[in-house]
Amino acid sequence: MANKPSYAWYLLPIFLGIIGGVIGYYILKNKHDKMAKYMLFLGIVSSIFGIIINYFFTYIPYENKTMELRPATYYYWGYKNYTGPISSVTWRINIEASSGIDFYIVKTESDVEKAIKGETFTYYEKCYEPHIMRKEITCTVLPDAFILLYNPNEHDVRVDIKAAYSVDTT
């Protein structure tokens, strides 16, 4: 075997994952077999690490609370502090309620005001769930959208909400 190649070769699988590991393996397999195998291994490990990081940190926690939703009342929230150009927002929301509540993602803040006044409002049909008690909902919407909960019951409803979001800048 010739002299050991530079440690800089390890940057290939670190930054390019499995693809970098495969490239490094084929370039170095005849020069330094042991280092070539380490590059392949490092490429696999860094790809798995990237997938895990992406899975757990793609969504940013936003709302995590328990509340009593009074009869015939709305609870709403939206997030407007995005930085940079945003094409869409994906909300992942987990709801548990003691009685059925209505869930909407409305298109604008003025739709929230219309809902509260009892007027007709616009919402994303794919993001509407009537009378839910336990549900995990994932919806991709425009950044001006608001989450809206409504209690149609004649009694208070205990609601547990866990919400997170991710943004798409493409």
Residues 78 and 110 in one domain: yes
Q: Residue 81 has what pLDDT? A: 58
Instruction: For residue range 53-77, list pLDDT tens digits in order.
Output: 766 666 666 778 899 999 999 998 8
Q: Give the range of the structural domain holding residue 160, as residue numbers without chain letter.
A: 62-168
CA atoms of 153 and 101, how far apart (whole Å): 8
Q: Residue 91 has what pLDDT? A: 86
Instruction: For residue range 86-145, list pLDDT tens digits in order.
Output: 778 888 899 999 999 999 999 988 999 999 999 999 999 989 999 999 999 999 888 888
Of 57, 72, 88, which marks where a domain is finished? Answer: 57
Residues 67 and 142 in one domain: yes
Q: Residue 130 has what pLDDT? A: 93
Is 1 a domain residue? no
Q: Find the helix packing angle between 11-28 and 33-57, rounded to 10°.
A: 150
Distances (CA, A) of 36 to 10, 143, 166: 10, 46, 37
The residue that leads in pLDDT, 79 or 116, is 116
Residues 50 and 70 in one domain: no
CA atoms of 116 and 16, how far apart (whole Å): 51
